[in-house]
Amino acid sequence: LKHNTNLRGLDLDDNSITSAGFEKIRSTIDDPSSLNAMESCNHTCWVDRVEGNEQGMTPRQRRNRKLYQLLSTRHLDGSNARHLNGELGEDKYTIKLVPKVLHCIKRYSSDQTA
């Protein structure tokens, strides 16, 4: 499911999936552990019972919403800088990536209602 590009929807209602099984499915479409993990998630398939995974959205809209939510949550925690340092590295060239990251944040935030 993580690398799926064909399946467009998965309805899990009335299935006897355990909480561990559901968590595994959820983590394939929404993994907030890092920007890279979130980027590598499945954005093609709509899965019911997963908050924020709205039906009728394009894969790009799903991806943008997930990344926006991740960045927003980190902002509320005051941890964006710490996470970005860990994900991008702390060498002298990292500062050059910040404008690109901020551009992405702006782009994703404008797509949050899509």
pLDDT(91) > 70: yes
Tens of pLDDT, residue by residue over 25-52, are: 888 888 889 888 888 888 888 888 777 6
- pLDDT over 90, % of the chain: 3
SS (H, E, C) 33-54: CCHHHHHCCCCCCEECCCCCCC
pLDDT(113) > 60: no
**Which among 57, 23, 62 has a CA at the least distance from the CA of 42?**
62
Q: Cβ(62)–Cβ(53) under 8 Å?
A: yes
Tens of pLDDT, residue by residue over 51-72, are: 767 788 888 888 888 888 888 8
What is residue 109's predicted lDDT score, i.e. its pLDDT? 58
pLDDT(112) > 60: no
